[in-house]
Amino acid sequence: MKLLKSAASPFVRKVMVTLHETGQLSDVEMLDVSNTPLAPDSAVAAANPVGKIPALIRNDAPTLYDSRVICRFLDQRAQAGLYPERRLYDTLTLEATADGMMEAAVLIVYEERFRALEQVSLDWIEGQWLKVSRSLDALETRWMSHLSGRLDMGQIAIGCALGYLDFRHDARQWRTGHDSLAAWYKTFSARPSMQATAGPAS
């Protein structure tokens, strides 16, 4: 299998952490690509018509794309239990929350980087950050018991989302008012899988 990836993508990092946690890293060849919303890499466009990474090229089956699809496939392949049946929908909801945070955070970067200065909308940027802020509040008030439980994909996704906030939006100081979440992340980010994938997206 081959993984189309970029070290700066939080969605790629989620897949990489999953590979580490499930012991499948050696099964996948890593292919670094240069991909932007205005100029998708030709390999990415061929693998994923939406033009986004990550994409997992399989030897004997269609390419998989979207990090949620890839992570679910890798978990099933390794029988790792990262989507536990007993709390499946909580795990999926937490993963969706993390992915929503990452998408909003990435869109802020795109707005500032790929639009002409006079076209940048500060209101739109703040609207995206509001999604992140509400999610942080929800994690702090509703999800700490789940985050503190047995490792699952919800935790991996949230860890990668918070790492991306540190990487791209550190000035927003997401830890303020989220003491329990900050303490959890300090512990979670010390996991070998998180340390190994830290790179520029840490």
- Nearest partner of 68 among 2, 134, 160, judged by Cα: 160
Give, as one character, the DSSP assignment of residue 63: P
Q: N- to C-terminal Cα distance for the chain? A: 25
CATH architecture of 85-192: Up-down Bundle (1.20)
Domain ranges of the chain: 2-78, 85-192
pLDDT of residue 200: 65
137-167: per-residue pLDDT in tens? 999 999 999 999 999 999 999 999 999 999 9
Average confidence (pLDDT) over 64-75:
98
Q: How far apart are CA 135 and CA 131, in angstroms?
A: 6
Chosen CATH of 2-78 out of 3.50.50.60, 3.90.920.10, 1.10.645.10, 3.40.30.10: 3.40.30.10
11-35: per-residue pLDDT in tens? 999 999 999 999 999 999 999 998 8
77-117: per-residue pLDDT in tens? 999 999 999 999 999 999 999 999 999 999 999 999 999 99
Four-CA torsion 69, 75, 79, 84, nearest 10 degrees:
-90
Give the DSSP letter string of 4-44.
Answer: EE-TT-HHHHHHHHHHHHHT-GGG-EEEE----SSS--HHH
Going 75 to 77 to 103 to 3, the CA torsion angle's sign is positive
Q: Reduced to 3 states, what is the DSSP secondary structure of residue 57?
A: strand
Q: Which of the two residues, 44 and 94, has the higher pLDDT score?
A: 94
